[in-house]
Amino acid sequence: MTGRQLVTDAQNTWCPGCGNFTIQHTLKTVLSDLESQGKSLDDVVLVSGIGCHAKIADYVNINSFYAIHGRAIPVATGIKLADKGLTVICCVGDGDAYAEGLDHLIFAAKRNIDITVLVHNNRVYGLTTGQYTPTSPLGFAGRSTPAGTLEYPINPLELMLASGATYVARCYTKKMDQLKQVIRGGIDHHGFACIDILQICATFFPMTDYYNVHTYELPVYDRTDLSVACEKAREWDYNQKNPIGLGVFYQRSFPTFDDRMALQPLQKADRELVIEEFLKSRQ
Ligand code: SF4
């Protein structure tokens, strides 16, 4: 059987050395693997937002939808609710998901909608030439903050854990094998998967040397333990000295929003089951 040609004719305009190339290549590899294992790629939809990352929708030959800034996640949610049989992958940027679209991200995690979100977190607005984003470190000197930011970066993983996401992970574009495994894990996970990907912006925030020193692979622990996952997530680099863990921080099964939608109106027994599962997942 010949696999689908995933390369498109679109001219690639990413800068040389951009981490988006890695994410694109890895996603294509994961899709090819899925297809060779029997999945029809006609049942996969890629949704992207606005930003450098979003061009991935032009470069991967599957069904795709360009949403407006910050609104990729509600579009992905709508697609999943319209057809539960689809595998919905949502590529967003850090400005896209952690600023403009933050409320949508939190509500998707809270609902546990069965989609996979890949956050291309380069910690800078690259498309608009280098302004700070919610994850830029304190003191980041960009086009809008030439003297350096006065704000600490938000911690996306801690936020996702607190919001109810059931698959929470961080990867780094220089660690491709792990990136591939974690993206595949997120797609296979039945529930809301948020994968924060430290993506190198070669032009406006080249962090390769920094991440090569500060990142480490998470040790073995019980991935259903929310307390340990939170503890590991809190190692985020607020002071630019902490280690930055890579891998799956947390994974737990919990009834998805799309499953509950199919059951509605929830009967008393269904409600009690959902409440019981929720309380277990918060332990
Ligand atoms: Fe990539 Fe940065 Fe260039 Fe955008 S500006 S294409 S994120 S290297």
Q: Can you spell out the DSSP letters for 58-96?
A: HHB-SEEEE--TT-HHHHHHHHHHH-TTSEEEEEEEHHI
According to DSSP, residue 10 is labeled: P
**Which pair of structure tokens corresponds to residue 185?**
């894990």
Q: E strands along the chain, which residues? A: 44-48, 63-66, 87-93, 116-121, 167-172, 193-198, 215-217, 244-251
Residue range 143-154, pLDDT digits in tens: 999 999 999 999
pLDDT tens-digit readout, 162-178: 999 999 999 999 999 99
Same domain, 192 and 276: no
Atom in ligand 1 nearest the alpha carbon of residue 17: 8
CA angle 238, 14, 6 (to 5 degrees): 110
122 CA closest ligand 1 atom index: 7
Average pLDDT of the segment spanning 22-46? 98
Does 76 map to a domain?
Answer: yes
Domain count for the chain, please give it. 2
209 within a domain of the structure (yes/no): yes
Can you point out the beta strands (E) in 154-238? 167-172, 193-198, 215-217
Range of the domain at 161: 20-252
Q: Is the CB of 142 under 6 A from ligand 1?
A: no
Co-location of 271 and 248 in the same domain = no
Give the three-class secondary structure for 176. Answer: helix
> Which CATH number is 24's domain given?
3.40.50.970
In a domain, 6, yes or no: no
CA angle 95, 120, 281 (to 5 degrees): 90
Q: Is the pLDDT of residue 120 over 80?
A: yes
User: Are 119 and 215 in the same domain?
Assistant: yes
Residues forming a β-bridge with 265: none
Per-residue CA distances from 41 to 5, 37, 75, 87 (Å):
11, 11, 19, 9
Q: Is the CB of 52 under 6 A from ligand 1?
A: yes
User: 115 and 226 share a domain?
Assistant: yes
Residue 129, ligand 1, Cβ within 6 A: no
| 254/142 Cα distance (integer angstroms) | 41
In angstroms, what is the span from residue 5 Cα to ligand 1's centroid?
25
Cβ(202) – ligand 1 distance below 6 Å: yes
pLDDT tens-digit map of 194-224: 999 999 999 999 999 999 999 999 999 999 9
In a domain, 208, yes or no: yes
Which atom of ligand 1 is the closest one to the Cα of 204?
Answer: 2
Tell whether ligand 1 has an atom less than 6 A from the beta carbon of residue 45: no
190/226 Cα distance (integer angstroms): 18
| 216: CB partners within 8 A, 6+ apart | 243, 244, 245, 246
Name the pLDDT band for 1 (thresholds 50, 70, 90).
very low
Say if residue 152 is in the same domain as residue 274: no
